[in-house]
A and B are shown apart, each in its own frame.
Chain A
């Protein structure tokens, strides 16, 4: 009975994972499709053409470039700003920490469409022309909360005695931070940066409201979905998936190895 129960749950997990990966399998498979029409919905034949010419569609390359630029820049800025907030929240007790927590929490529970719309009214009121800059501002904004949450989780499990030891051995606060604190929370910071990058390169709704005439990769897909869907979209989608998941996987493995090394030491 126990055997059946255990394997029932295992079988369920396999099915659930299959469900999760079904659309992804479709995306990857159709990146090798050779569609005859303008839409990439039915299987017509295998080809490597889309992968050897991934940007061979008007506007696709520039849209992807904009997306990558914004994802990198917003990840860097949001990770810096968010890490500082996380340090303040975990390390200090101060007046206003409850308000700060609320300020971090609320953006994550606000529907994206409301955030996009409210930013649009801000830019209209302040007469700020919409474009690259406004997209970047928006992406940094929604990334900050996720960075704080990710880095804070890492900081909470942090052993303060290690910092104590460094300072007892004569290191000042800056040296202690750079040589002890930073390396220890680095995986958390890296995870936050990767998450920010992924959230940014995937964002459609908030960008849609604040892009002006600039086109990011998701906006390009949206525009394309009405007239034609080139298989190159699947190629880029697959590539982003591989890069993001690869980065996360490397981070997880790196963390595990460090943990084992520390245990052995």
Chain B
């Protein structure tokens, strides 16, 4: 849509109109219903969860008592599940990144006019209900399934070996189930890479590998960052894959929170565990942000 450039007077008029629009209550009127909903049903519940994590008692009677020991007890009792959650989520995130990057690259640079269609193809499988998808993996990884048979034939698995009910199955499930959260941000950042920069690098005799490593990859790091976060966070809190593809020996912290809340009704412990999970995720995200380096990102963009 090539519209004529605005003339100076048009610019002035537009600016005047924008200034006029920016004043007054209009934005707040637009915002209030939605943000009120988020405050009441997202922020306020967090307050109650925090309060619950410092209560003591037995269902259905709890009382607030600054019970900080809920946190230390919860962490020491479920240390294994915490470590396992971050281990599984970390491995799954790395595998998802390795799978998604070339795919996102392919859509962004080779997709041409079919980009949107390919994106839709990538997202489409995730419109099959999460649980049904995971049950399908149960079928694929089952003892008589094709994957186990092939792995046995090439002697990666012993004759009694199985995939279901192992860490590998749970990690495979997590990797698959959160893949769009990795592909989409990667695609967005790769799509924005200016092709002329790559051409310039190649004109300056950079090899294709080198121009990828020095131009494309640094420019796509914001997408890597977003993709890793959006995959890692839900993965660390997941309990469905461990429940359906694993056994209690693969249970993650999500399984513990779920059963503490809904089966044992030990609300204070469950609330404390939820907060430790969020806190640990936050710390890891900050470490990761520092490791990837905001200054390196801007330097990459400038290069």
Interface residues of B in 6-39 (CB under 8 A from A): 6, 10, 13-14, 17, 21-22, 26-28, 30-31, 33-35, 37-39
Minimal Cβ-Cβ distance residue in B for A203? B130
Q: What's the Cα separation between A234 and B139 when bound, in Å?
A: 13
Is the beta-carbon distance between B35 and A100 smaller than 8 angstroms?
yes
Give the distance to chain B from A58, nearest Cβ to Cβ, in Å.
Answer: 19
| Segment among B40-48, B72-80, B196-204 that sits at the interface with chain A | B40-48
Q: Provided the pairs A125-B48, A249-B120 are in contact, do residues A88 and B42 lie with their beta carbons within 8 angstroms? A: no
Q: Select one of A10, A144, A159, A225 contacting B106, CB under 8 A.
A: A10
Q: Is A188 an interface residue (CB 8 A)?
A: no
Give the distance to chain B from A88, nearest Cβ to Cβ, in Å.
Answer: 4
| Segment among B154-162, B257-265, B289-297 that sits at the interface with chain A | B257-265
Is the beta-carbon distance between A94 and B27 smaller than 8 angstroms?
yes
Interface residue range, chain A: 35 or more
Please name all residues of chain A whose beta carbon is closer than 8 Å to the beta carbon of B103 when the two chains form the complex.
12-13, 16-17
A interface secondary structure, majority: helix
Is the beta-carbon distance between B277 and A111 smaller than 8 angstroms?
yes
Q: Select one of B51, B110, B120, B138 contacting A10, CB under 8 A.
A: B110
Minimal Cβ-Cβ distance residue in A for B46? A118
Q: Is A132 an interface residue (CB 8 A)?
A: no
B interface secondary structure, majority: helix
Give the distance to chain B from A246, nearest Cβ to Cβ, in Å.
Answer: 10
A-B contact pairs, 10 of them (CB 8 A): A17-B121, A22-B140, A23-B176, A84-B33, A114-B49, A114-B237, A118-B46, A221-B129, A234-B132, A237-B129
Instruction: Kindly supply a per-residue 1/0 record for chain A positions 187-202, scoring 1 wherever the CB is within 8 Å of any chain B CB and 0 otherwise.
Output: 0000000000010011
Please name all residues of chain B whose beta carbon is closer than 8 Å to the beta carbon of A32 when the two chains form the complex.
none
Interface residue range, chain B: 35 or more
Task: With A81-B34, A85-B30 given, name 8 new contacts (CB 8 A).
Answer: A10-B110, A13-B107, A41-B139, A103-B43, A107-B42, A112-B234, A164-B17, A255-B116
Is the beta-carbon distance between A237 and B132 smaller than 8 angstroms?
yes
Minimal Cβ-Cβ distance residue in A for B173? A23
Is the beta-carbon distance between B138 and A41 smaller than 8 angstroms?
yes
Q: What's the Cα separation between A5 and B123 when bound, in Å?
A: 26
Q: Is A156 an interface residue (CB 8 A)?
A: no
Give the distance to chain B from A156, nearest Cβ to Cβ, in Å.
Answer: 13
Q: Is A244 an interface residue (CB 8 A)?
A: yes
Q: Is B218 an interface residue (CB 8 A)?
A: no
Give the distance to chain B from A97, nearest Cβ to Cβ, in Å.
Answer: 8
Q: Select one of B51, B131, B136 contacting A204, CB under 8 A.
A: B131
Give the distance to chain A from B78, nearest Cβ to Cβ, in Å.
Answer: 14
Q: Is A47 an interface residue (CB 8 A)?
A: no
Nearest 6 pairs between A and B by C-beta?
A111-B237, A81-B34, A118-B45, A23-B136, A92-B27, A88-B30
Q: Is A252 an interface residue (CB 8 A)?
A: yes
Interface residues of A in 197-229 (CB under 8 A from B): 198, 201-202, 204-205, 208-209, 217-218, 221-222, 225, 229
Give the distance to chain B from A83, nearest Cβ to Cβ, in Å.
Answer: 9
Interface residues of A in 41-77 (CB under 8 A from B): 41-42
Q: Is B117 an interface residue (CB 8 A)?
A: yes
Q: Is A27 an interface residue (CB 8 A)?
A: yes
Is the beta-carbon distance between A144 and B48 smaller than 8 angstroms?
no
Q: Provided the pairs A121-B49, A122-B41 are in contact, do residues A113 and B258 lie with their beta carbons within 8 angstroms? A: yes
Interface residues of A in 9-50 (CB under 8 A from B): 9-10, 12-13, 16-17, 19-24, 26-27, 30, 41-42
Q: Is B84 an interface residue (CB 8 A)?
A: no
Is the beta-carbon distance between B237 and A245 smaller than 8 angstroms?
no
Give the distance to chain A from B296, nearest Cβ to Cβ, in Å.
Answer: 22
Q: Is B221 an interface residue (CB 8 A)?
A: no
Q: Is B105 an interface residue (CB 8 A)?
A: yes
Give the distance to chain B from A248, nearest Cβ to Cβ, in Å.
Answer: 6
Interface residues of B in 123-171 (CB under 8 A from A): 123-125, 127-133, 135-140, 142, 144
